[in-house]
Amino acid sequence: MNDNKNYIQDIILKLNKCKSKNDLNMIRSQYLGVNGIITQKFKKLKTLDVESKKKFSIKINKIKKKILKLLFLKKNTLKETMIKNLYKNNNIDISLSSKEVNLGSVHIITYSINRIINFFSKLGFEALYGPEIESDYYNFDALNIKKNHPSRDNHDTFWFNKNILLRTQTSSMQIRTMEKKTPPVRIIVPGKVYRNDSSLTHSPMFHQIEGFIIDKKINFSNLKWIMKNFLLFFFKKKCKIRFRNSYFPFTTPSAEIDIFNEISKKWLEVLGCGMIHPLVLKKVNINPEKYIGCAFGIGIERLIMLKYNILNIRSFFKNDLRLLKQFK
C-alpha cells in the first residue's frame, strides 16, 4: 500500500469534475462497488499473515473512510447547486412565508351529538342507531300516526314506494327497541332524518336525537326534570325555559319546550316531549297499565343555531372554514 495517497488524490480530481448525481454514483461504484478498487483491496486480506493483515486493514479502512467523506460532501454540494438553480430558473422567492395549512377538526354537529350522548349516558341512557330507510309501519303506523295525517304527504316525506320511505324521525326506533327489549329501558337514538323542506332554518336532511324511558314509575315531572337539566347543560348558562301544551300522535299529554332568546327577545321552540301514548305501548305488547313511558325529540341543528347564533342552516353543510375553525 505504498500508493495510498494516490487513491485520495485521484478521487478528488474526479469529484472536482463531477457535475451530476449520475457521475457521483459512477465514481462511488468505481471505488466502493462490488468490483471497485477499494473492495478488491479488502479481498487481498485473506492472503496475508495475521500481522500484515492487521496493518493492511487499518490503512485500507482509513482510505475508505476518507473516500466516503469526500462522496458525502460532494453529494451535499450537488444538492445545494441543484436547489439554487431550481429557484433561479423558476423565480421562486424563498423569503416568502409558506402556504397556510388549514387543519381539520370535529364538525360542530358531531361534537354536539357526542356532548348530548355523554350527558344522557350519565343518566343511564343507552345510545342505539337505526336504519335511515324505514317502512311506513315503524315510521307512522306503530306510532299512532293516522293514514290521513299530513306528515305522510309527498310534500313532507320522501317516499320510495307506498311502503318504504326515508325516515322522518328517529322515533321509529322506539318501536324497534320495544319489540326486542323488555322494560325497564332508557334509550337515546341519534341519527339523520329527512323531510321535504328547505329554507334558512330547515334542511331536507338534518339530525335528531330521540330519547325515551319505559318503566313502572315514570311521570311528567321526571320528564320535565330531565329536559330542564339537559337544556341548562347544553347552553352552559341559565336560560328561561317554558313548557307549552302541544299535540303529538304518539304522546299524551304532550308539550313543546321553548327558551327565551335574549337577542331577538322572543320565545323559540327547541324540542318536543310527552308521555308515550298507551296505544303505542299496546302495539309492541307492553301493558300500559303496568308500564309508563316518556319520550322527547331533539333537533340538533336548531339547538346549535340558537347556541351559536347561526342564522342559516345551510352553513353546516358548506364546509366553510371560517365557520368550522371556530369550533376546534
Task: With cut-offs at 50, 70 and 90, classify the pLDDT of residue 200.
Answer: low
Beta strand 185-194 with 205-215 is antiparallel
How many C-beta atoms surround the C-beta of residue 84 within 10 A? 11
Q: Which of 19-28, 100-109, 153-162, 168-177 has the lowest mean pLDDT?
A: 100-109
Q: Average per-residue pLDDT in the chain?
A: 86
pLDDT digits (tens, 9 = 90+) for 66-108: 888 888 998 999 888 888 777 776 666 667 677 777 676 788 8
Give every strand in the sheet of 241-248, ordered side by side. 126-127, 185-194, 205-215, 292-299, 266-276, 251-261, 241-248
pTM given for the model: 0.65
Please give the Cα distance from 327 to 109 (Å, whole number).
10
Specify the pLDDT at position 243: 93
Q: State mean pLDDT over 277-284.
A: 92
Percent of the chain with pLDDT over 90: 38
Beta strand 185-194 with 126-127 is parallel
pLDDT digits (tens, 9 = 90+) for 181-193: 988 999 999 999 9
Query: Which of 212, 200, 138 is CA-nearest to residue 169?
Result: 138
275 and 293 Cβ atoms separated by less than 8 Å: yes
User: Which residues are CB-contacts of 286 (< 8 A; sequence separation ≥ 6)?
Assistant: 178, 183, 214
How many C-beta atoms surround the C-beta of residue 170 within 10 A? 25
Higher local confidence (pLDDT), 249 or 1: 249
pLDDT over threshold 60, residue 3: no
pLDDT over threshold 50, residue 1: no
Please give the Cα distance from 7 to 12 (Å, whole number).
9
Amino acid making up residue 187: I
pLDDT over threshold 80, residue 4: no
In this structure, what DSSP letter does residue 156 have? T
Specify the pLDDT at position 238: 75
- Would you state the cell numbers that stand for residue 306, as one nine-digit string? 340558537
Q: State mean pLDDT over 107-114.
A: 91
pLDDT digits (tens, 9 = 90+) for 215-252: 998 999 999 999 999 999 998 877 888 999 999 989 99
Specify the pLDDT at position 10: 85
**CB-count burial class (<10 Å; 0-12, 13-18, 19+) for 287:** exposed
Specify the pLDDT at position 261: 78
Half-sphere exposure of 195 (CA within 13 A, CB side): 18
